[in-house]
Amino acid sequence: MKENQIGLQTADTQTAAKQTNPLVRFVDKLYELFDNRKIRFSVIAVAVAVLLYLPMRTNMYFMEVMTNVWFYVVMCLGLNIIVGFAGLLSLGYAAFFAVGAYTTGILILRYGMSFWLTLPISALMAVIAGLAIGTPTLKLRSDYLAIVTLGFGEMTRLAARNMAITGRATGLVGISRPYFFGLHLYKINHYYYAFLALAIIAIFISYRLMDSRLGRAWKCIREDEDAAEAMGINVVAIRLYAFILGSVFGALAGSFMAIKMTAISPDSFLFTQSVNILLAVVLGGMGKIPGVILGAFVMVIFPEVFRGIGQYRMLIFGLVLLILMIYRPQGLWPERSGGGPIEEKTCKDEVI
C-alpha cells in the first residue's frame, strides 16, 4: 500500500514538474494552436513559400548548407522509423545510404541508365539489404542488435572499398547529372529544390506511417515488446517492416547525393556518419517528427555557425549535447504533457 502511495506521489511530482517547466508549457501552447486546422495549414503554407523563395535571395554557401539540411532531414526521418517508431538501435545506417549511392553510381557509369530509372532499383536494393540484415538479427535486443548493425555498416564500407565494380578505394567519379523535363540539374539551386521536395515527401510519409495501424504496432512494440507479442503482434515481422522502410529512405537520399556530388567514395560512409544521423534523432527527440527535423537542422547548422573556432566547435557541441541529455533527455521537442488520450491507450487500443 505504501509503495503504491509512493508511486502515485512520484507520478504527481513528475506531472507538476512538467507543468512548471517553461519549455513544456511553451510546446503545449504550440500543440494547442496547431490543433486548429486553419492555423496549422496556414503556417505550413507560409513556411513552404519562404523555403521556395530563399534561393532567389541567398548566396551559394547558404544554399549548400540548406541542401545538406534537407539531406539530413531525409536520412534522420528514415532512421527515426527504425529507432524512434520501432525502438530498434541501429549504428550502421550509413550502409543503406551507401547502397543507394553506389547503386545509382554503378548503373549510370557502367550501364548508362537514366538517373530516374535507378531510383526504384536503389529502393529495391535497400529492401534486399534490409532483409539480409534484418531477417536473422531482429530477434536480438538492445546492445546485441546495435553491435550487429555496426558490423553490417563496416562490412558494407569495406566491401565497397575492395570491389572492382565500386571503384575500390578511389570510388566512382564522373557520375553524370540528370535532366528533369529538359532542365539540366547542375546548379546548387536545383539540388536545393530537389532535396526540399524529397524532404517534404519523407515528412508526409512519416506522418502517414505514424498514424497508421503499422505505426501503432511499432509504438506498441517500442513501449512493451512482451505485451505486444501477447496481443498477437508478429514482433519480428513488424520490426522488419521498420527496418526495410527506413533503409529505403536512406537509399533514396544516397541516390540523390550521388548525382549532386558526381563522385562517391567509401570514406563518405564511415561510422561517424551513422553516429551523426543517430545524434540528430536523439537530439531532436526520438519518435517525434518535428523534433527529428529540428535535430537535423542543429546537426548541420551548428558546426557551420562555429566554424571560425576550428576544431573546438565539436568540443563545444559535445558539451552542449551532454548538458542537454542531462537536463532534457526527451530531446529538443518534447511530447505534449498532460497524459492525453494517446498516452492512456493500451497496447490493444493502439493496434485495433
For residue 173, the SS3 value is strand
For residue 2, the SS3 value is helix
Share of the chain above pLDDT 90, in %: 34
What pLDDT, on a 0 to 100 scale, did the predictor assign at position 177? 92
Angle between helices 213-223 and 235-261 (to 10 degrees): 110
Residue extents of the structural domains in the chain: 64-351
What pLDDT, on a 0 to 100 scale, did the predictor assign at position 99? 94
Q: What is the pTM of this model?
A: 0.86
pLDDT tier at 321, thresholds 50, 70, 90? confident
Average pLDDT, integer, range 106-130 = 93
CA distance 214 to 229: 14
Share of the chain above pLDDT 70, in %: 86
Residue given cell 551532454 in the structure block: 322
CA distance 40 to 38: 6
Instruction: Look at residue 341 and tell me whether its pLDDT is greater than 70.
Output: no
Average pLDDT, integer, range 151-158 = 89
What pLDDT, on a 0 to 100 scale, did the predictor assign at position 26? 72
Instruction: Look at residue 342 and tell me whether its pLDDT is greater than 60.
Output: no
CA distance 306 to 324: 18
- In sequence order, the 6+-apart residues with CB closer than 8 A to the CB of 320 are 302
For residue 58, the SS3 value is coil
For residue 162, the SS3 value is helix
Q: What is the CATH number of domain 64-351?
A: 1.10.3470
Q: Which residue has the higher pLDDT, 55 or 142?
A: 55
What the block records as the C-alpha cell of 93 is 545506417
Tens-digit pLDDT profile for residues 24-43: 677 677 777 776 778 877 88
Tens-digit pLDDT profile for residues 168-227: 888 899 999 999 988 999 889 999 999 999 999 999 999 999 888 999 999 898 888 888
- Residues 91 and 213: beta-carbon distance below 8 Å: no
